[in-house]
């Protein structure tokens, strides 16, 4: 009986200790949950404050900051540099830029300046750069003429991209384009001349004219009286064949014509032969 009593007391003691422990853990869990809720609420409150601050800055602070910068003496325009002008009318470009010293560099409409300057004859592309704190740079990229085309009442220059514009200088020295009706034809003609010059087959100022028609294709006449008949594009293989025989052909005498419009062939005719 004594042994049983001891065992019983031990069992009851351990049971009571377990219950107290579980009770303690229960109370601790409740307190921890409360602290976790407070922390989450505080984080949410901070997040709301940040969002409100950002919104307030966007609608109130940012406009005030921008207005302050626009009025700042630090960003007052002091200098406008126009670079890259050779053929275009510089005075006309200055007028098209249309900004004055003392205005805000930050408020300058770069896109509007670019649009106005690009409308000027000879101007191909325009870059307008805002160089803080007080400078604008206008970079003008002009058309490079490779020839001129007679449209009846005036001549237009033609660049390597087939673009045309009013020419306001002497046309002498430029090859004249004849028979061209479409921009694509002008592009082929202009690029053909440029390639022949790059390859050293003709001199930079040695082409007299470029003719085109739907039947014969492209023909080039040099100032020395040599006819180069290329036919229709592509031209790269024809130019390659021409470059291979050109030196030898010139050594044999004065050339009258060279035909490259015969498939996989080249015909060279010398004067008097």
Domain boundaries, the chain: 74-142, 145-270
* Greatest distance between any 2 Cα atoms in the chain: 149
Q: How many CB atoms lie within 10 A of CB 145?
A: 23
Reply yes or no on whether the pLDDT at 230 is more than 60.
Answer: yes
Q: C-alpha distances in angstroms, 261 versus 28, 134, 153, 226?
A: 99, 59, 33, 15
- The phi and psi torsions of 43 (rounded to 5 degrees) equal -60, -40
Between 3.40.47.10, 3.30.70.270, 1.10.600.10, 3.40.50.11690, what CATH number should domain 145-270 receive?
Answer: 3.40.50.11690
The pLDDT, as a whole number, for residue 32 is: 54
CATH number of 74-142: 3.10.20.310
pTM comes to 0.62
Q: What is the pLDDT of residues 198-229, one digit of tens each?
A: 999 999 889 999 999 999 999 999 999 999 99
Q: How many CB atoms lie within 10 A of CB 233?
A: 16
110-118 vs 90-97: helix axis angle to the nearest 10? 150
Q: What is the pLDDT of residues 29-39, one digit of tens each?
A: 455 556 676 76
Q: What is the pLDDT of residues 3-62, one digit of tens each?
A: 443 443 444 434 444 444 444 544 544 555 566 767 677 677 677 667 766 665 455 544
The pLDDT, as a whole number, for residue 55 is: 67
């Amino acid at each position: 009986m004594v042994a049983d009593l001891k065992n019983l007391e031990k069992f009851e003691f351990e049971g009571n200790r377990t219950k107290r422990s579980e009770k303690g853990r229960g109370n601790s869990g409740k307190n921890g949950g409360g602290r976790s809720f407070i922390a989450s609420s505080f984080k949410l409150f901070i997040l709301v404050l940040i969002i409100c601050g950002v919104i307030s800055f966007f609608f109130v602070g940012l406009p005030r900051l921008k207005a302050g910068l626009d009025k700042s003496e630090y960003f007052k325009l002091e200098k406008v540099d126009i670079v890259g002008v050779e053929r275009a009318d510089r005075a006309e470009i200055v007028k098209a830029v249309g900004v004055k010293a003392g205005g805000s560099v930050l408020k300058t409409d770069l896109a509007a300046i670019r649009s106005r300057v690009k409308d000027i004859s000879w101007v191909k592309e325009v870059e307008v750069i805002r160089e803080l704190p007080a400078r604008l740079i206008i970079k003008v990229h002009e058309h490079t003429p490779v020839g001129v085309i007679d449209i009846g009442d005036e001549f237009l220059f033609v660049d390597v991209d087939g673009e045309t514009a009013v020419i306001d200088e002497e046309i002498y020295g430029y090859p004249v384009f004849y028979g061209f009706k479409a921009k694509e034809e002008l592009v082929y003609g202009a690029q053909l001349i440029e390639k022949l010059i790059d390859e050293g087959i003709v001199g930079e100022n040695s082409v007299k004219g470029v003719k085109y028609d739907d039947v014969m294709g492209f023909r080039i006449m040099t100032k020395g009286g040599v006819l180069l008949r290329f036919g229709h594009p592509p031209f790269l293989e024809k130019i390659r064949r021409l470059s291979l025989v050109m030196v030898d052909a010139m050594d044999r005498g004065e050339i009258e014509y060279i035909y490259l419009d015969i498939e996989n062939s080249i015909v060279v005719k010398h004067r008097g032969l």
